[in-house]
Structure 1
Amino acid sequence: MPESDLFAREALVVAQPKRSRWRRYTGPALAVSTVEGTLLAQVTHTDDTRSLLTSVSGEYVVRIEKSSRFGQFGPVRFRFIDATDHEAGTVDARGPVKTGQLSLRTAHGRALLLTRRGLLSTEWQLTESDPHRSPAPEVLGRVTVSTVDGWLGLQQYAVVTDPRLDTSERRTVVTSVICLHLLRRPPDSSSTPA
């Protein structure tokens, strides 16, 4: 599936695939699918600093590279590298609660913010200005998290974007949701979500 088809949709679901409680899981870390459940792409972690988004057919879509100057206590930056080996966007997370707000930059330089509505909220809003400082910024999308398996704590993120966003902007938004999951539940971590 071409990248343009994957990110042309206004609504996608990024979720941890269901797995057996009794067997070691060896599948992808995350699955990207339509709202109806059709699998479109998968995310695998190559190590703690790199993840790979591939289509169902195995075609490389985006590589996510994570860097942090001061380990888990300092700011974290994610870079997205597309199939042509060009930077396709970035995400920056700062502050003591790094999942409170993510600063996104698309391949074309557009700055966006993915901001949690409150400390205990399960919804993030996509805007161009800070909703905590501006009176009422225009909402360009929403990300809602839910738990699909309470026993294992598997997470699902429903991503809905404004029809005015282009394919490269949607790519940045969907990839930032993968980064959000990595911040909340790092690979091979048994820690509770932030």
Structure 2
Amino acid sequence: MGVRPEDGGTPDRLPEMFSLPEVVLTESKRGPLIGPGKPVMNLSAADGTRFATLHDTTPKRGKPTYTLTDRAGRTVMTVAVGPGKPHRMPFVFTDGRGRPAGGVRLRNSLFSTLGLRVSADESADVLCLDRTALAGSAWLVKDDSDAELVRVTVSSAAGVTLRQRYEIRFDPRLTAPQRRALVGAVITLQALRRWLAGD
């Protein structure tokens, strides 16, 4: 499947998928996040309606790169390893036209999944996506009053295959660019978890 830039429509209009109260990222099959062109995850609404597919678009001898495309094959966003210190490896996001759309920095050491620091292109606010327990199945973003802004819950999508399924629930106060950045953060989280497991 080819990956081509977003075309048509209003340039700054984000897709419908970033206006929903909940979206789901599911592994398309159990396997490593490697292999250029390979579909690795699907992004759907809570009712199962598929919006987009995540592909491994890592260039040959390049840094890991993943591209989310809609059903028409247009690029929605790209998640790629960016420059930085190896132990605090950042991921950077771009939108469908290749413009900066935020990124993620690890709270702790390389491959730690305990906490991610997420920023969106249109907001200076940093969202702290923290795991609720050392081996927990949920990650939260809370506001200054300790109220939940985001809850990410991971489970197995298909029993023995151990395909990972991430439910992402958004507070209505979050903007579309923030939601897009948080989807990028969950893609980052999945990549880190697979690398850590040796997949």
- What residue is the counterpart of 1:40 in the other structure? 51
Asked if 2 retains the 8 angstrom alpha-carbon contact of 1:143 and 1:157, the reply is: yes
Matched residue, 2:71: 56
Equivalent position SS for 1:168: helix
Counterparts of 1:2-17 in structure 2 under 5 Å? 3-17=14-28
Looking at structure 2, the residues matched to 175 and 70 of structure 1 have their Cα atoms a distance apart, in angstroms, of: 20
SS in 1 for 2:178: helix
Separation in structure 1 between the aligned mates of residue 163 and residue 47 of structure 2, nearest angstrom: 19
> Which segments of 5 or more consecutive residues in structure 1 lack a partner in the other structure?
20-25, 130-135
CA RMSD between the two structures: 2.4
Q: Deviations over 1:56-101 (max 9, x none)?
A: 1111111111136565xx1121100112221101101142461000
Q: CA deviation at 1:120?
A: 1.5
Q: Which residue of 2 aligns with 1:191?
A: 198
Alignment check: 8 A CA contact 2:67 2:79 kept = yes
Which residue number in structure 2 is paired with residue 126 of structure 1? 141
1:105 maps to which of 119, 126, 138:
119
Moved over 6 A (4+): none
Shift of 1:32: 0.2
The equivalent of 2:34 in structure 1 is none
Q: Give 2:173's aligned residue.
A: 164
Relative to structure 1, the CA distance from residue 190 to residue 125 in structure 2 (aligned partners, 3 Å threshold; closer, same or farther) is: closer
Kept in 2: contact 1:63–1:80 (CA 8 A)? yes
Q: CA deviation at 1:191?
A: 2.5
The alignment-based identity, stated in percent, is: 28
Tell me which residue corresponds to 2:81: 66
Given candidates 130, 138, 146, the residue that maps to 2:155 is 146
> Following the alignment from structure 1 to structure 2, what is the Cα–Cα distance between the partners of residues 70 and 110?
22
In structure 2, stretches of 5+ residues that fail to align are 1-8, 31-36
Structure-2 separation of matches of 1:138 and 1:106: 20
Give me the whole-angstrom Cα distance separating, in 1, the residues matched to 2:93 and 2:84. Answer: 18
Of the structure 1 ranges 98-107 and 83-92, higher mean CA displacement relative to structure 2 is found in: 83-92
Partner of 2:189 in structure 1? 180
SS in 2 for 1:119: coil
